[in-house]
Amino acid sequence: MQPKVSVIIPVYNCEPFLRECLDSLRAQTMRQIEMICVCDASPDNSLAILREYEAKDSRIRVIAFEENRGVSAARNAGLEAASGEYVIFCDSDDWIEPGMYQRLYDMAKEHGADIAFCRVFKDYAHKQENVPLGFETGTRFDRGSIRAALIPAMLSKENDSDELPLSGYTPRNLFRREVIGAHRFREEIRYAEDLLFIVECMLDADAAVAVDEAYYHYRFHGQSVTKRYSAHVPASHDLSNDAIAALLRDNPECQRRMTIRRRKMAVTAVRNLCYPGTPYGFFARVRRARAYMNRRDVRSWFADVKPLSFPPKLAMRLFLMKYRMALTMCFLFTCIFDRV
């Protein structure tokens, strides 16, 4: 019998969390699922755990890479193997509520939607955030409103803000397999790869539906890729943003919001140099930050910004980026902004 939902789980270096992830998948109230686990040559005991679960649940299939190829390649391998009516992704250090897939599937069927998406929990060591969508449950987007309202909301807030836009996070989205079609994750983009894939699929969708209920637990921990230095920033940001902008070239509001998105990610690129795991000493960080800030395209993103019109912390970041004050920016990210 064809599964209703194929779940694709890329696995790399997540042994402490993997059992909880797999147990939450096996506990889904929707039983007609297949779980495709792609072990990306993980150096820990993850593959042995996957084999253990594969042996006790026939719905689990394991694909094991012989060498590390990255999360995009792992997801693509899962897409090639998927046979479900719908497809969804799950990260191996996260977990989900038991009713998630049944709820998203039912909403997609009820509203004739190619994509259904829900809220997420952000789970930190000492707190949990329930992150709203900004759209009520049952809000249906047709092809026009996907382009006019949904995609812009995923690119950025209406203006520069410390608040995050609607997250371009693949595991919150259930996709009809036909709308994915030949779309795949670009394997040379190793960071912030999700949104490009989502936008490509949404542009081919006839309808999407919102489920303003939290089901997915996005775990933040000491090894989370979003809180550690990555050598793939900012190059992956540039590749992803350029590709998204090209897809949306005929949409003026999306182009405006892409500039806001680029500014936010430019700040992240400087912050990345100061994250735990950085290989650079302080003054090497400053030199690299200054070179980045002096790029012509980066300067253009901040040229028209009026920093003093924003709240103080955001205003300071925009001011420092606009006037390319790399030393102060690196000092603040190293000693203050990300230590409070």
SS (H, E, C) 104-144: HHHHHHHCCCCEEEEEEEEECCCCEEEECCCCCCCCEEEHH
* CA end-to-end distance (rounded Å), the chain: 52
Task: Report the pLDDT value the prediction gives residue 225, as an integer from 0 to 100.
Answer: 62
Contact indicator for 301, 263 with CB cutoff of 8 Å: yes
Distances, alpha carbon 69 to alpha carbons 12, 16, 61, 138, 225, in Å: 10, 21, 19, 38, 16
pLDDT of 224 strictly over 80 = no
Task: Say if residue 340's pLDDT is above 50.
Answer: no
Q: What is the mean pLDDT of the chain?
A: 95
Please check the confidence at residue 339 and state whether its pLDDT lies above 50: no
pLDDT of 333 above 70 = yes
Provide the residue type at 102 as one letter: Q
Q: DSSP assignment, residue 306?
A: -
Q: Average of pLDDT values for 93-116?
A: 98
CA distance readout (Å), 286 to 232, 238, 294, 340: 18, 20, 12, 21
pTM of the model: 0.93
Angle between helix 282-293 and 252-272 (nearest 10): 160
pLDDT (0 to 100) of residue 222: 60
> Mean pLDDT throughout 13-29?
97
Between 142 and 191, name the one with better pLDDT.
142
Q: Residue 174's beta-bridge partner residues?
A: 116
Residue 105 scores a pLDDT above 60: yes
Please confirm whether the linkage preceding 234 is cis (ω < 30° from 0). Answer: yes
Domains recognised in the chain with CATH numbers: 5-140+165-180+211-226 (3.90.550.10), 279-340 (no CATH)
**Buried b / exposed e across 159-181, counting CB within 10 Å, b at 16+?**
ebeeeebbbbbbbbbbbbbebbe
Taking the CA of residue 74 as centre, how many other CA atoms within 13 Å lie in the half-sphere pointing to its CB? 29
Which of 162-166, 213-217, 258-262 bottoms out in mean pLDDT, i.e. has the lowest? 162-166
